[in-house]
Amino acid sequence: MSSNNPIPEDEHLQNAIYGTPKVNPDEQRKYLGTFRERVGLTISVKELSSRDWTNEFSQELAQDYVQIIFINGNLPQEKINPYIMIASKSGINFTMKTNPEFRTEPDNFAIVVANKQAIHISPVDITSKYPVATEPDVDTPKQSFWKKLFK
């Protein structure tokens, strides 16, 4: 039997049983269910634990590209609740990702801010987009040029 169907019957049967295969499943798993080219901001689990990013997160939500927020729902509620509150107040749709495939190790993402189409923003990491300003040491008095020169 010849068929004009470009998909072999075995592949068609496999798709019917297991579902259509995902495009770049590792990338989608990493970015909480979306593709890298749609991402505008990421906050890793480690970054979320290191300091409060709520001001920067609020600033980012004011950007034109923002259409959806993905939040790793497998994290403790007290860590993600401030971000859920900000997302709710902003009126931007957000999705809690609670499937076991979304892990909570330090390098995994806790929050991904994205668009529904490709936007190709770089960098997306919150520490790169919003570097923490370091304050100069107040305790150390500056030496004059002449003291440095003749030391």
Where do the domains of the chain lie?
37-126
End-to-end CA distance of the chain: 93
Q: Is 10 helix (H, G, I), strand (E, B) or coil?
A: helix
Q: CATH for 37-126, among 2.60.40.1930, 3.30.1330.30, 3.40.50.300, 3.40.50.2300?
A: 3.30.1330.30
How far apart, in whole angstroms, are the C-alpha atoms of residue 112 and residue 140? Answer: 40
**What is residue 143's predicted lDDT score, i.e. its pLDDT?**
66
Q: Are 110 and 75 in contact (CB under 8 A)?
A: yes
Q: Going residue by residue through the chain, which has 151 residues, state the pLDDT in tens, using 9 for 90 and above.
A: 455 655 566 776 776 777 666 778 889 999 999 999 999 999 999 999 999 999 999 999 999 999 999 999 999 999 999 999 999 999 999 999 999 999 999 999 999 999 999 999 999 999 999 998 765 555 556 666 666 666 6
Which are the contacts of 78, defined by CB distance < 8 A and separation ≥ 6? none
Q: How many Cα atoms sit within 13 Å of 42 on the Cβ side?
A: 23
| Predicted structure pTM score | 0.76
Tokens 């920067």: give the residue.
Answer: 56
**What is residue 99's predicted lDDT score, i.e. its pLDDT?**
94
Tokens 């970015």: give the residue.
Answer: 31
Q: Is 76 helix (H, G, I), strand (E, B) or coil?
A: coil
How far apart, in whole angstroms, are the C-alpha atoms of residue 110 and residue 139? Answer: 37
